Structure 1
Amino acid sequence: MTPPPARLPDSASLQAVLAGLDPASVDADLVPALAAAFRGFDFSLAQVDDEYWRDARSVIRSDGTRVGELRPWMMAELAKDGGDIRALWTRLKETDLQITEWRGNSAFVFAPTGTGVADYIQIALGREIEWRAGPVVNPDYRPWGEEELLDPSWPRHEGLPDTDRLAGPIYRLLDRAGGAFVHVRSFLDRCGRIERDKREAKRPELERRVIREVGPDGTRETPFLQAVPDWFDFVPRELRFFRDWEASSARSQLVFAHWALDVRDYTHKGEREVGFIPRPLKIPRERLQMTPETSVHQLMDRIEAIDRELALPFGWFFLMTHGHWVEPDVGLAIADGLKAQRVRLPDPDAAVLLRWSERTYGF
């Protein structure tokens, strides 16, 4: 009997799996729990070192007894003192009340759904721990406004001892901009469709637009679409990233073994915003920057070293599109070297780089 098709995860079922994990063994249990809930998927987990703080603080006593959430509790306490911040501070600094904070790091779960480079799902999570962070008010400094009480800056931001751990670790869906769960190929299709729709909506306006140039023979007018005939053929950078991966030496490896995607999909002022910023899971020891004295042959040595560090052929190129670890000028210099036949790359990689150099993109 043919097994039923695998059921794609959804937000509610993912949250149910996460809620059922024991903090004591959450890291070991996450992938098996997902595999049990969504049979047919081969899940893998990648964690990112990018500490963040949640805007969710609580108030506790020194013995750990929970008093309430910081903001509503603090506003009620301020009301008791008739809005007098000095009186509130004087009263609270003599108590044993403390603030808790949730601190986390991003984590991503992946699972392939096919053989294509974009045939996989991604789940964006936060791995979070609640800590005892500091006194409810700064005993050495009187706050001057409500916001200093509600959004305190005095809690410690350095590493905390394990004795100050209150809860967690837990895993939580990170739905910061509508991108907690994506099927990547479907998402790319959505990116392309929305971009086409946006451009098509401007067709009547662009058909009327002209470019005026003033020269010695007078003013010449050129229809915009005649001057820019490929305006409607624009390919979003998100699609180009995956197409370049598929067309290059990198195609021998899985995208999600090397990159996570910070996905956004939301509507702002009636305009649909959809796309992603790629985040490298592996980074080189040093940035590759272009300097006047750097030769193209030195650049070739450096990009080969980066590829070895990443264990990814042509990996330097995708770091370059990200923009931080390899400067775009490096790619342009190597493209010029290819055109002058001073250096060589494998034919697929050379074609991708030369195409990029004609119309660059980056994140």
Structure 2
Amino acid sequence: MTRSAVRLPDAASVQVALAELDPTSADAALVPALSAAFPGFDFSLAHVDDEYWRDTRSVIRPDGMWIGELRPWMTAELAKDGGDVKAVWTRLRETDLQITEWRGTSAFVFAPTGPAAADYIQIALGREIEWRAGPIVNPDYRPWGEEELLDPGWPRDKPLPDSARLVGPVYRLLDRAGGAFVHVRSFLDRCDRVEREKREAKRPEMERRVVRETGPHGVTRETPFLELVPDYFEFVPREVRFFRDWEASSAGAQRVFTHWALDARDYTHKGEREVGFIPRPLKMPSDRLLMTPETTVHQLMDRIEAIDREIALPFGWFFLMTHGHWVEADVGLAIADALKAQRVRLPDPDAAVLLCWAEQTYGF
């Protein structure tokens, strides 16, 4: 089948495929279901351990019989007692009613569309399970406001046994800030275009802006802003640099999506378009690499080599550094200084990427 004949996935069709999954086999059936819905794509799945809670809760009886959604049901119960929170709590804690909640973790589906680093699609999903969370109210603590009855937080204080599972797992398309479904190359083009348009819109302002500096003898000098930042209109978004650096480095022999998922966003806030992503590592080292005064650059080199081996990605430490948590930026700056002093060595492509980053750092 030629690429032109392949039907690209779309949100509506993905939702149909997800709705047809049987919760008892959803984990194993997800990729085959998508492959059947979209022939010609080689889908893969990655899970991320980042528990979240949906705001949808239900009221049930001990036998699992559904009574209603918690918030409207509890609102009606409050109305019965004239909004008296204590009276509702006293009455309900003597019942055997229970509440459920949906707990989820993120899952990402990927499929390559070409050979380049950004040639793939990503689908952001939630893997969600409905649990029997506990009694309808906390019998040991009287709530002081309506919201504690309408949106109780106390059941989340402890993990739930598998026997408390009611439904799931089910997979749901997550449209967090417009990033549920992205073709990464097109998304990067959009990032670049939106940033360019924002800066062009500010061109008259930037051309008028000056930076005032007071020199010796109190003399004030005015320098046009664009003389100090001549590449202001050639700015490259960090998202684009991440993928360019991947392709230019030793990491480029592997696919980005085998190591990273993207928390993508595309929304408008106060009239301004926001497009971008935060990369999320799928493979993490066992320890963080922090810069300390007593750490030598040769010790850093040993540590970054160990990280690369641990996550099975050459130059992987660099991308963990741009992520900002697992490797401190000062580590990269120290190695860059040592490279310039010819005290350490990296493969030429990696050295070029690191030195370019050190000249104009970026991070997420």
TM-score for the superposition, normalised by structure 1: 0.98
2: CA distance, partners of 1:3 / 1:101:
43
- Matched residue type, 2:301: M
- Preserved contact between residue 134 and residue 156 of structure 1 (Cα < 8 Å): no
1: CA distance, partners of 2:2 / 2:326:
47
Q: Cα distance 1:9–1:3, how it changes in 2: closer, same or farther (>3 A)?
A: closer
2: CA distance, partners of 1:85 / 1:159:
27
1: CA distance, partners of 2:26 / 2:109:
14
Deviations 1:43-85 (A, max 9, x none): 0000111111111111111111111111111111100111111
Q: Cα distance 1:190–1:3, how it changes in 2: closer, same or farther (>3 A)?
A: closer
Q: How does 1:134-149 map to 2 (within 5 A)?
A: 134-149=134-149
Deviations 1:303-360 (A, max 9, x none): 0000000110000000000010001000000001101100000000000000000110
1: CA distance, partners of 2:9 / 2:80:
48
The structural deviation recorded for 1:114 is: 0.4
The structural deviation recorded for 1:221 is: 1.6
Paired residue for 1:119? 119
Specify the SS of the correspondent of 2:5. Answer: coil
Q: Cα distance 1:98–1:354, how it changes in 2: closer, same or farther (>3 A)?
A: same
- Preserved contact between residue 134 and residue 154 of structure 1 (Cα < 8 Å): no
Q: Cα distance 1:74–1:254, how it changes in 2: closer, same or farther (>3 A)?
A: same
Specify the SS of the correspondent of 1:123. Answer: strand
Runs of 4+ in 1 over 6 A off after TM superposition: none
Q: How many residue pairs get matched?
A: 363
Specify the SS of the correspondent of 1:341. Answer: coil
Paired residue for 1:85? 85
Pairwise CA RMSD: 1.2
- Matched residue type, 1:227: L
Deviations 1:75-130 (A, max 9, x none): 11100111111111111111111110101111000000001100000000011100
Deviations 1:233-271 (A, max 9, x none): 111100000000000000000000000000011111111
1: CA distance, partners of 2:215 / 2:274:
40
Q: Cα distance 1:222–1:347, how it changes in 2: closer, same or farther (>3 A)?
A: same
The structural deviation recorded for 1:159 is: 2.7
Moved more, 46-55 or 279-288: 46-55
1: CA distance, partners of 2:181 / 2:2:
27
2: CA distance, partners of 1:175 / 1:3:
27
Q: How does 1:155-304 map to 2 (within 5 A)?
A: 155-216=155-216, 218-304=219-305
Paired residue for 1:315? 316
Structure 1 stretches lacking a partner, 5+ long: none
Paired residue for 2:15? 15
2: CA distance, partners of 1:33 / 1:2:
21
Deviations 1:185-207 (A, max 9, x none): 00000000000000000001111
What is the identity percentage for the equivalent residue pairs of Structure 1 and Structure 2? 82
- Matched residue type, 1:36: A
Paired residue for 1:47? 47
1: CA distance, partners of 2:237 / 2:146:
44
Q: Cα distance 1:2–1:182, how it changes in 2: closer, same or farther (>3 A)?
A: closer
Q: Cα distance 1:255–1:269, how it changes in 2: closer, same or farther (>3 A)?
A: same
2: CA distance, partners of 1:200 / 1:153:
47
Q: Cα distance 1:138–1:41, how it changes in 2: closer, same or farther (>3 A)?
A: same
The structural deviation recorded for 1:3 is: 7.2
Deviations 1:213-235 (A, max 9, x none): 22236222221112211110111
The structural deviation recorded for 1:140 is: 1.4
- Matched residue type, 1:113: T
1: CA distance, partners of 2:2 / 2:241:
36
- Preserved contact between residue 338 and residue 344 of structure 1 (Cα < 8 Å): yes
Specify the SS of the correspondent of 1:262. Answer: strand
TM-score for the superposition, normalised by structure 2: 0.98
The structural deviation recorded for 1:156 is: 4.5
The structural deviation recorded for 1:163 is: 1.8
